[in-house]
Amino acid sequence: MEVRKFFFIFLSSFILLLSLCYAAKPSLESKVALLNQASSQNLGVVELDSNLYDEFVAKPRNYSMAILLTALDPQINCIPCKEFDPEFRLVARSWLEAGNEPSRLYFGVLDFKNGREVYAKLGLNNAPTLFYFSPTTGPYAKDVSEPNKYEFNRHGFSAEEFASYLSGILGTQVPVKRPLNYFSIFITTILILGALASIKLMYPMMESIIRSKNTWATISLVVILMMISGHMWNHIRGPPYVYYQNSQVSYIAHGFSNQFGIESQIVAVVYGICSFSVIALIHLVPKVEDKNKQRFGTYLWMGILFTTFSLLFALFRIKNPGYPFKLFI
C-alpha cells in the first residue's frame, strides 16, 4: 500500500514536471506570434515581466531581441533610466514603422518592479542595462552564448547612438525617425522673429552697446577668467559642484589634477580680485587728487591684492602639499 502510494506520488509529480517542462517551452512559432502581436500593439515595444523574460530569452531563438532592464519607479529615482526610455522607444517605433521583417529585431522592456527575479538572477545592481540577444537558429544565427551588453558609457544615451550600435550588430540599417515637434518649431520661429524684431526696434540702443569698448572688454575678461580657472575641465569631466561626505561639505578636491565645480569659481573670483586690484593701482589711484585719499586708496588696494594673493597661495598649497612658498597665510 505504502509503496503504491509512494509510486503514485512519484508518477504524478513526474507527469507534472514533464508538463511543466513542456509548458515552459512553447514552440518558436507561438513565441514569434506573441512577440509580433505585442510589439505591433505597443508601438514596437514588448513589455515584459520575469516569466516573459525567461520565455523569450530561452533558446532556441530565431529572432534578435534587445531588452532594456530599467527602473522607472519614481521611488528608485533612476535618472539615466528616464533619460534613455524615450530614446529606446523611439528606436523601437522607427524600426516598426520602417517595415522591416519584424523577427529580425524585437524590443523588450523589463521594469524593475515587474522583474525583481531577473535582476536577482543576473546579479544586476544598476539600471539601465541593455542586452542584445542574437538568434540561435535561422538564417541570422550567431554562435554566441552570451548576450551582448550595450555599454552606456561608451555609446551614450541618444537614440542615434543606440541605433548605430544595433545597425552594427544586425548588419542592416536601424533607422531613427524623430517625430517633428511642430509646437517647438512654431515656438522657435516665433522667438527668432521676435528677437529679430526687437533687435530692429532697439538697434539704436544696441548699437551703442555693441560699439562700446567696455562691453567687449567685459566679455573678453569673463571668458579669459573662466578659461584660466579650469572651466573647460569642468565642462569636459563634469565633476560634482561640491562634495558631501558624512554631512560635511568639501569645496576643494584632493589631487593636483582634480577639482570641484565650485573650486574653479572660487579661483576665478580670486584671480578677478587680484587683477582688479592691480588695475585699480594703475588706473584709479593716480586719478585721486587729494594726497591722503590717494594714500588710503593705495594702501587699501595693495592690502587687498596682498591678502588675495596669499589666499591663492594657500589654496594652491592645499592642492599641492609639497609646495614650499607662501605669503602671509
Partner 1 sequence: MKVLGLDAQNQASLLKVVILGLIAFVAISSRLFSIIRFESVIHEFDPWFNYRATRRLVQTNFYEFWNWFDERSWYPLGRVVGGTVYPGLMVTSATIHNILHALNFPVDIRNICVLLAPLFSAFTAIAAFLLTSEIKDSSAGLLAAAFIGVAPGYISRSVAGSYDNEGIAIFLLMFTFYLWIKSLKEGSAFFGGLTALFYFYMVAAWGGYVFIINLIPLHAFALILMGRFSTRLYVAYSSFYALGTLMSMQIPFVGFQPTRTSEHMAALGIFGLLQIIAFVELVRSHLASNQFQILFKGFIFIAFIAMFSALVILTFSGYIAPWTGRFYSLWDTGYAKKYIPIIASVSEHQPTAWPSFFFDLEMLIFLFPAGIYLCFKELRDEHVFVILYGITASYFAGVMVRLMLTLTPIVCVSSSITISSLLDNYLDFSVVDPETTEQKSVTDSKSKPQDKHKKPGDSSRSAATSSKSEKKKKKDQFFGIIGNDSRGIVLLNFFFFLVIFIWHCTWVTSNAYSSPSIVLASRQADGSQYIIDDFREAYYWLRKNTDDSAKIMSWWDYGYQIAGMADRTVLVDNNTWNNTHIATVGKAMSSEEEVAYEIMRRHDVTHVLVIFGGLLGYSGDDINKFLWMIRIAEGVYPDDVKETNFFTPRGEYRVDDEATPTMRRSLMYKMSYHNYNELFGGQGQDRVRGAKLPADKIKLSTLEEAYTTENWIVRIYKVKDLDNIGRNLEQAAAFEAGKKSRRPKRKQSQK
Cα–Cα distance between 35 and 26 in angstroms, integer? 13
Q: How far is the CB of 250 from partner 1 (least distance, A)?
A: 16
Do residues 249 and 243 touch, judged by C-beta distance below 8 A? yes
Instruction: Determine, following the binding rule CB under 8 A, whether residue 286 of this chain makes contact with partner 1.
Output: yes
Instruction: Determine, following the binding rule CB under 8 A, whether residue 279 of this chain makes contact with partner 1.
Output: yes
Place of cell 545597425: 167
Cα–Cα distance between 134 and 169 in angstroms, integer? 9
Instruction: Determine, following the binding rule CB under 8 A, whether residue 217 of this chain makes contact with partner 1.
Output: yes
Cα–Cα distance between 299 and 305 in angstroms, integer? 10
Cα–Cα distance between 252 and 263 in angstroms, integer? 6
- 98 three-state secondary structure: coil
Q: b/e for 268-288, b at 16 or more Cβ within 10 A?
A: bebbebbebbeebbeeebeee
Instruction: Determine, following the binding rule CB under 8 A, whether residue 224 of this chain makes contact with partner 1.
Output: yes
Region of 53-61, 64-72, 80-88, 295-303 interacting with partner 1 (CB under 8 A): 295-303
Q: What is the secondary structure of 26-40 as a DSSP string?
A: --HHHHHHHHHHHHH
Do residues 273 and 307 touch, judged by C-beta distance below 8 A? no
Member of 73, 83, 151, 207 binding partner 1 (CB under 8 A):
151
Q: Give 280's DSSP letter.
A: I
Residues contacting 167, CB < 8 A, separation 6+: 173, 174
Instruction: Determine, following the binding rule CB under 8 A, whether residue 232 of this chain makes contact with partner 1.
Output: yes
Cα–Cα distance between 88 and 157 in angstroms, integer? 9
Cα–Cα distance between 279 and 185 in angstroms, integer? 47
Instruction: Determine, following the binding rule CB under 8 A, whether residue 320 of this chain makes contact with partner 1.
Output: yes
Instruction: Determine, following the binding rule CB under 8 A, whether residue 181 of this chain makes contact with partner 1.
Output: no
The residue among 16 and 227 lying less far from partner 1, judged by its C-beta, is 227
Residues 256 to 275: which contact partner 1 by CB under 8 A? 256-259, 263-264, 267, 270-272, 274-275
Instruction: Determine, following the binding rule CB under 8 A, whether residue 28 of this chain makes contact with partner 1.
Output: no
Cα–Cα distance between 135 and 147 in angstroms, integer? 10
The residue among 71 and 262 lying less far from partner 1, judged by its C-beta, is 262
Instruction: Determine, following the binding rule CB under 8 A, whether residue 76 of this chain makes contact with partner 1.
Output: no
Q: How far is the CB of 27 from partner 1 (least distance, A)?
A: 31
Member of 16, 58, 269, 327 binding partner 1 (CB under 8 A):
327
Instruction: Determine, following the binding rule CB under 8 A, whether residue 306 of this chain makes contact with partner 1.
Output: yes
Best CA proximity match to 270, nearest among 213, 212, 215, 327: 327
Member of 205, 289, 321, 329 binding partner 1 (CB under 8 A):
289
Instruction: Determine, following the binding rule CB under 8 A, whether residue 129 of this chain makes contact with partner 1.
Output: no
Instruction: Determine, following the binding rule CB under 8 A, whether residue 5 of this chain makes contact with partner 1.
Output: no
User: 43: how many CB neighbours lie within 10 A of its CB?
Assistant: 13
Member of 123, 139, 171, 204 binding partner 1 (CB under 8 A):
123
Instruction: Determine, following the binding rule CB under 8 A, whether residue 242 of this chain makes contact with partner 1.
Output: no
Chain residues in the site for partner 1 (CB under 8 A): 123, 149, 151, 154, 156, 168, 213, 216-217, 220-221, 223-225, 227-233, 235-237, 256-259, 263-264, 267, 270-272, 274-276, 278-279, 281-283, 285-289, 291, 294-295, 298-299, 302, 305-306, 309, 312, 316, 319-320, 324-325, 327
